[in-house]
């Protein structure tokens, strides 16, 4: 038996999921790479559709991927400060749309625990926000190393009912965080929620020479609308080009200038820019005011 083959979860003598799937394809693979090729072949022979193949490939990759490969980096973490008043905490919660937040002490390296948004909202619903004491509502934070495998973490999430873990480096410093949704997205793809963009116009004039632009707007369409000449050789979308200018994933409110045009991040997902406010230079001739 190949050393690369995962052990059967059903105990000795019971076929593993890999062996059971292999029977569908006529032969047992020697290793993971051959199994991936069998999945592709099964799709080409219409035994699997493209989505099913992608999910099965995702399952394999989860077993090979480490937490550090997909974590939300420290610079992108949305945190609550333990000593801030409830009204400031509420503003952060509403702006982010998240349901769980690391709560920090003096700095981000001191994670005191996890706050669920519903615990603060309950005080507001009862009209007793002035009685809110964040220390009484904190849930214990779970700390994991960057080297932990995603499949192991997923099992731990399921058994402990935790949905968030704080990632630490080899010196014990906070390097990022990961949620159960991040892990599941490696298998099923992006999981959209009510805060994700659906059906919005790509470019919308806001007035005063400013425009709202979706990050997925193609550079070619952006250039046509604004009379710009941004390079689309390396990147297809405005979000990809702007992220490249930062050299990292920027946070909401951060700005960068490119060819005299100001790009300010107005919405950002855990691992991508979603929307930008664009202030083009006066030298650009905007020709797409009627719509993109």
Phi, psi of 42 (to 5 degrees): -65, -35
- Looking at residue 4, its pLDDT comes to 47
260 vs 80: CA distance, rounded Å: 35
Per-residue pLDDT tens digits for 47-86: 778 777 778 877 887 888 899 988 888 877 889 999 999 9
pLDDT greater than 50 at residue 8: no
- Looking at residue 164, its pLDDT comes to 95
123 vs 256: CA distance, rounded Å: 39
101 vs 85: CA distance, rounded Å: 15
67 vs 182: CA distance, rounded Å: 10
Contact present, 115 and 134 (Cβ < 8 Å): yes
Q: Token digits for 65?
A: 């991927």
Of 51, 110, 106, nearest to 84 (Cα)? 106
164 vs 114: CA distance, rounded Å: 8
Q: Hey, is 120 helix, strand or coil?
A: helix
140 vs 160: CA distance, rounded Å: 12
Per-residue pLDDT tens digits for 161-195: 899 999 999 889 999 999 998 888 888 766 555 44
110 vs 103: CA distance, rounded Å: 8
- Looking at residue 148, its pLDDT comes to 94
- Looking at residue 200, its pLDDT comes to 61
Average pLDDT of the residues of the chain:
82
272 vs 9: CA distance, rounded Å: 36
Predicted confidence band of residue 6 (pLDDT cuts 50, 70, 90): very low
3 vs 51: CA distance, rounded Å: 28
**Which residues 6+ apart lie within 8 Å of 287 measured at CB?**
224, 225, 226, 227
pLDDT exceeding 90 applies to what percent of the chain?
Answer: 40
Cα within 13 Å of Cα(6), Cβ side: 19
H or E element at residue 43 = helix 32-44
- Looking at residue 79, its pLDDT comes to 92
**Which residues 6+ apart lie within 8 Å of 270 measured at CB?**
72, 76, 182
Lowest mean pLDDT among 24-28, 89-93, 137-141, 261-265: 24-28
Q: Which residue has the tokens 């919405």?
A: 267
Per-residue pLDDT tens digits for 21-50: 555 656 667 777 787 788 888 788 887 787
Domains, the chain, ordered by start: 17-64 (no CATH), 70-188 (3.10.580.10), 203-279 (3.30.465.10)
**Which residues 6+ apart lie within 8 Å of 121 measured at CB?**
none
H or E element at residue 91 = helix 86-96
Which string of DSSP letters, residue by residue, matches 140-200? PPPEEETT-BHHHHHHHHHHH---EEEEE-TTS-EEEEEEHHHHHHHHH-----TTS--S-
Select the more confidently predicted residue: 193 or 281.
281
42 vs 199: CA distance, rounded Å: 34
Per-residue pLDDT tens digits for 222-238: 999 999 999 988 888 89
- Looking at residue 270, its pLDDT comes to 60
pLDDT, mean of residues 95-121: 90
Predicted confidence band of residue 259 (pLDDT cuts 50, 70, 90): very high
- Looking at residue 19, its pLDDT comes to 59
Contact present, 206 and 212 (Cβ < 8 Å): yes
Predicted confidence band of residue 7 (pLDDT cuts 50, 70, 90): very low
């Amino acid at each position: 038996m190949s050393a690369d083959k995962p052990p059967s979860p059903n105990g000795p003598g019971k076929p593993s999921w890999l062996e059971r799937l292999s029977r569908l394809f006529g032969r047992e693979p020697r290793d993971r790479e051959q199994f991936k090729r069998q999945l592709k072949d099964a799709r080409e022979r219409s035994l699997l559709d493209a989505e099913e193949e992608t999910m099965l490939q995702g399952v394999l990759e989860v077993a090979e991927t480490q937490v550090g490969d997909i974590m939300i980096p420290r610079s992108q973490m949305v945190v609550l400060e333990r000593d801030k008043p409830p009204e400031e905490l509420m503003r952060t919660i509403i702006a982010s749309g998240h349901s769980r937040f690391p709560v920090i002490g003096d700095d981000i390296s001191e994670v005191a625990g996890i706050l669920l948004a519903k615990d603060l909202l309950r005080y507001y619903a009862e009209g007793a926000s002035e009685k809110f004491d964040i220390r009484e509502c904190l849930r214990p934070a779970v700390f994991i190393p960057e080297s932990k495998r995603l499949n192991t973490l997923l099992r731990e999430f399921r058994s402990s009912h935790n949905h968030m873990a704080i990632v630490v480096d080899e010196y014990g410093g906070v390097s990022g965080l990961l949620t159960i949704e991040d892990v599941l997205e490696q298998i099923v793809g992006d999981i959209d929620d009510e805060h994700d963009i659906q059906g919005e116009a790509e470019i919308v004039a806001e007035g005063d020479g400013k425009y709202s632009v979706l990050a997925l707007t193609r550079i070619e369409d952006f250039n046509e609308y604004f009379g710009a000449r941004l390079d689309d050789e390396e990147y297809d979308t405005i979000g990809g080009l702007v992220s490249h200018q930062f050299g990292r994933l920027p946070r909401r409110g951060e700005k960068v200038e490119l060819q005299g045009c100001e790009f300010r991040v107005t919405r950002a997902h855990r691992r991508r820019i979603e929307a930008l406010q664009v202030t083009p230079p006066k030298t650009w001739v905007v020709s797409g005011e009627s719509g993109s």
